[in-house]
Structure 1
């Protein structure tokens, strides 16, 4: 996908300025391990630029891997732990996130594949134009980017936290461009053709939602904007800046659906539409008819859902269990507690659909 990167401070198109830098004509923006840092955080930007100008690429990387967002529930990782993440061969995803001090966010990312909200996001993508490249905003460690690339789609990932992008590249193997940037502050990239912009389980974190949505539409360039699993004030989730359902409806001309509609859509079922007490909602600007995507091209990539242990569920934490139970209330026979003692379907892809089998990365 051909696109220019855009300065978050003056809106100029960035151009290369040496091996590790981009410039907007006024400021230098660092590129570390192939990931541009375009957050409008002058203190961090200048510190990383100084590291690189002094030839200290490792210091620059460690500095960025220690950075966290405003909602992080944990203290930043120590330098020694970061060094282990960089140097230790064979480190798996959960070990890396523990060393990077992800805390409960690590559980969320490690088990996101097992959540009904993940398959709800996959189904949402199936209701966007199949020919468009996908720019995922707030992509985290790249769960959806990885799934889309395996299905043959062109992707770009944008997130505010550098270490998440680094894990997306190093452990999940995402190949498309990754950009550390704040879409609340500006669109970060330009696109030359209509694009699907996808933002899932993150939009409620934006404090200035109208500005963020404007920038998502700018990136889409006439394509689709899919915003999923947006927590409402009914949700037990406390982080971010959740709104009432009606307030989300004022942000878009698209039909704001209960998130249950997307989660149940994965199973070919329909939700009761319009519950004002819904814990999460979603919408698609430029929605298409549902068209299934071949998410699994090789059954060898499937593994038993790690939550399923000897006819019981092994929850990673009480908090993760609470979130799963809140999200799965709509599943009507498809949740793991309901399936745990049922006879497994013979068909492998049906087992995948029902989340008995999961497409996990090899270094999970």
Structure 2
């Protein structure tokens, strides 16, 4: 993760990305997009997207086979972001944030990338308080709340139950990370700024 795995494609006002959206902010962005499976679902619904990943081959596979309608930028999240000046109505980082370096800095950059009224969705965050939880770096609920202070947090089990039942997940009561759940829930799954 400490080196750039390909050429950085800077975004300029006259670029294809800007023309595609009429010069307005790019609607959706995904950091650590991998091979583009989330982008595939969004672009299939006509949503303009840009994916970013440190691994050139993942972006290449996504562009050529999985989500060709999306655009891609290859860069290291730990380095300068070529999309730092852009604002998006959805910024997503799924199943990747827990292994990114300098998480406080990257959390701030993700928050800054969200346009007014937009959504930051970060999923699959490892909860250190859950025995037998996911492998890899983890934080407890209070630490995640420090990184994402304005977040609504859902337990992944609640999201799965809602999905299988064809319902929206219940909105958590109380503070952004309910005290009764700190240290008990499984991985906090989705974070949305309460604006």
Shared topology, TM-score over 0.5? yes
Distance in 2 of aligned mates of 1:30 and 1:272:
40
Counterpart in the other structure of 1:250: 146
Query: Gapped runs of 5+ residues in structure 2?
Result: 11-24, 173-177
> Taking structure 1 as reference, are residues 264 and 179 closer, same or farther at Cα in structure 2, changes over 3 Å only?
same
More strand by share: 2
2:124 corresponds to 1:229: yes
Query: Gapped runs of 5+ residues in structure 1?
Result: 1-28, 39-130, 288-364
Describe the SS at the equivalent of 1:136. Answer: strand
Shift of 1:176: 2.0
Counterpart in the other structure of 1:278: 185
Contact 2:6 2:74 in 1 (8 A): no
Describe the SS at the equivalent of 1:224. Answer: strand
Counterpart in the other structure of 2:80: 186
> Taking structure 1 as reference, are residues 250 and 151 closer, same or farther at Cα in structure 2, changes over 3 Å only?
same
Alignment deviations for residues 144-191 of structure 1 (CA, whole Å, 9 cap, x no partner): 000000011110000111111111112214222211112233333045
Describe the SS at the equivalent of 1:263. Answer: helix
Contact 1:30 1:37 in 2 (8 A): no
Partner of residue 157 from structure 2, selected from 260, 270, 274:
260
Contact 2:152 2:194 in 1 (8 A): no
More helix by share: 1
Contact 2:154 2:191 in 1 (8 A): yes
Contact 1:187 1:219 in 2 (8 A): no
Distance in 2 of aligned mates of 1:224 and 1:272:
15
Alignment deviations for residues 189-244 of structure 1 (CA, whole Å, 9 cap, x no partner): 045554311111111112311100111123224332111121212253223x2111
Counterpart in the other structure of 1:160: 54
Counterpart in the other structure of 2:29: 135
Describe the SS at the equivalent of 1:236. Answer: coil
Contact 1:137 1:159 in 2 (8 A): yes
Structure possessing the higher radius of gyration over alpha carbons: 1
RMSD of aligned alpha carbons: 2.8
In the TM superposition, 1:81-160 aligns within 5 A as 133-160=27-54
> Taking structure 1 as reference, are residues 148 and 165 closer, same or farther at Cα in structure 2, changes over 3 Å only?
same
Describe the SS at the equivalent of 1:250. Answer: helix
Alignment deviations for residues 276-314 of structure 1 (CA, whole Å, 9 cap, x no partner): 322310311157xxxxxxxxxxxxxxxxxxxxxxxxxxx
Distance in 2 of aligned mates of 1:171 and 1:132:
22
